[in-house]
């Protein structure tokens, strides 16, 4: 199957592309580091059977200081992709932040993406994704590097990147093999993707033996981002990796 992956050089993208190639798919990678900016997205030469849109700016705190850039990249450029793929099934990365979009420019952009997506485009609201290659600004990377300056009592749902990849591939396989997406049985549907289990950040920091002060955290952060995975479990997906195992 011919598949285009935007954000192919990102955290989830690298793992996804590796898995897709292993399964024998013909993958076209679209990433700014490959001199393929999503604002220039097209598929004249590579008409796909399926598109997976992961390219985005993803730092919640950074979005507060750079709201215009986050809007342009995550919303305006995504609209170019959505419109180009109006009649092509797609999975795109949303975020648990979209459920409380008013807290941050990042969350606002993800919620806007969900509104702009066309029928047959499926959004996955990922929680906190962790695993090999996690970006340095993510909590698990900062814990591993000892760069935590304070802890909070926020509750976080930690989704392993391998499980995120499996969720993407599940939707792709449903859409192409059964016609579920093409026949619009799913219409602009959005699924929560996480473990459905919460981890208190302060307790996690203490397990790492890091002694830092307890604070409330930033106003742009959700207090609790635990996913409701009931709907995606009905499609046959469930998490397999646990943060504490």
- State the Cα–Cα distance between residues 92 and 107, nearest whole angstrom: 15
Question: Strands 128-130 and 26-30, how do they pair?
Answer: unpaired
* Cβ pair 31, 6 in contact under 8 A: yes
The full DSSP string for 55-77 is -----HHHHHH-HHHHHIIIIIH
Per-position pLDDT tens, the chain of length 245: 999 999 999 999 999 999 999 999 999 999 999 999 999 998 866 689 999 999 999 999 999 999 999 999 999 999 999 999 998 999 999 999 999 999 999 999 999 999 999 988 999 999 999 999 998 888 899 998 888 999 999 999 999 999 999 999 999 988 765 444 444 445 458 999 999 999 999 999 999 999 999 999 899 999 999 999 999 999 999 999 988 86
Q: What's the pLDDT at 46?
A: 67
Picking from 169, 143, 234, 196, the residue whose alpha carbon sits closest to that of residue 20 is 169
The angle that helices 105-116 and 77-84 make with each other, rounded to 10 degrees, is: 20
Task: Choose the CATH number for 2-133+158-194 among 3.20.20.70, 3.40.50.720, 3.40.50.1360, 3.30.300.180.
Answer: 3.40.50.720
* Cβ pair 122, 176 in contact under 8 A: no
């Amino acid at each position: 199957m011919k598949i285009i992956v935007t954000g192919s050089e990102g955290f989830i993208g690298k793992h996804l592309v590796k898995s897709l190639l292993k399964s024998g798919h013909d993958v076209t990678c679209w990433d700014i580091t490959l001199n393929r900016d999503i604002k220039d997205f097209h598929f004249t030469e590579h008409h796909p059977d399926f598109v997976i849109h992961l390219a985005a700016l993803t730092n919640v705190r950074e979005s507060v200081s750079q709201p215009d850039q986050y809007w342009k990249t995550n919303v305006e450029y995504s609209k170019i992709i959505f419109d180009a793929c109006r009649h092509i099934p797609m999975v795109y990365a949303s975020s648990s932040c979209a459920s409380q979009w008013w807290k941050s420019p990042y969350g606002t952009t993800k919620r806007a993406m969900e509104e702009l997506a066309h029928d047959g485009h499926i959004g996955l609201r990922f929680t906190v994704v962790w695993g090999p290659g996690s970006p340095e600004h993510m909590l698990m990377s900062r814990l591993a590097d000892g760069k935590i300056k304070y802890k909070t009592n926020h509750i976080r749902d930690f989704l392993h990147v391998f499980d995120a990849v499996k969720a993407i591939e599940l939707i792709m396989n449903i859409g192409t093999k059964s016609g579920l997406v093409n026949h619009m049985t799913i219409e602009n549907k959005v699924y929560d993707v996480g473990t459905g289990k919460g981890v208190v950040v302060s307790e996690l920091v203490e397990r790492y033996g890091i002694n830092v002060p307890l604070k409330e955290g930033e106003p742009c952060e959700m207090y609790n981002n635990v996913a409701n995975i009931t709907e995606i479990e009905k499609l046959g997906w469930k998490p397999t990796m646990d943060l504490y195992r």
